[in-house]
């Protein structure tokens, strides 16, 4: 380690010599990122905003690629594709909560103010009596 005569500045770990430090008013990354360069996210956004022609119901419609992808994903989910359903649920967390709430509302509408045990007793009794034929069920226990 050397000492300068004018300064008592020690050169060492995390103490570079004064002559090799960044100069005032000068960037440490002079070249830096070019102004026109964009990141991956910006490129993906631009790509998804591009328009594409899609045939829907026998006619051609222009829509963004993002909208076309969303339509395809929803169509697959409606057709019963489990991976598409999972992906939709993960993309829209509120979707799973709304579906669960609607299911609970439907169950309450079918058997209002009934406990699970009462519903099971009703089901067992109706099965024992030969009930619950096709189209039957869903009524009050």
* Mean pLDDT taken over the chain: 79
In this predicted model, which residue has the larger pLDDT, 136 or 100?
100
Per-residue pLDDT, averaged over 114-135, amounts to 72
Give the whole-angstrom CA distance, residue 99 versus residue 105. 10
pLDDT (tens digit per residue) in 8-25: 778 899 888 888 888 888
In this predicted model, which residue has the larger pLDDT, 3 or 35?
35
Residues with Cβ < 8 Å from 52, sequence gap 6 or more?
A: 62, 63, 64, 65, 68
> Helix (H, G, I), strand (E, B), or coil: what is residue 20?
helix
- The whole-number pLDDT of residue 62 equals 94
* Entry pTM: 0.44
């Amino acid at each position: 380690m050397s000492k300068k005569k004018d300064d008592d500045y020690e050169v060492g770990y995390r103490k570079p010599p004064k002559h090799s430090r960044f100069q005032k008013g000068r960037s440490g990354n002079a070249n830096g990122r070019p102004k026109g360069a964009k990141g991956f996210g910006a490129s993906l956004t631009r790509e998804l905003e591009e328009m594409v022609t899609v045939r829907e119901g026998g006619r051609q419609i222009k829509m963004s690629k993002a909208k076309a992808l969303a339509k395809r994903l929803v169509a697959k989910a409606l057709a019963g594709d489990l991976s598409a359903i999972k992906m939709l649920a993960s993309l829209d967390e509120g979707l799973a909560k709304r579906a669960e709430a609607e299911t609970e509302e439907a169950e309450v509408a079918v058997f209002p103010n009934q406990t699970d045990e009462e519903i099971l007793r009703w089901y067992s009794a109706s099965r024992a009596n030969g009930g619950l034929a096709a189209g039957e069920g869903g009524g009050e226990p």
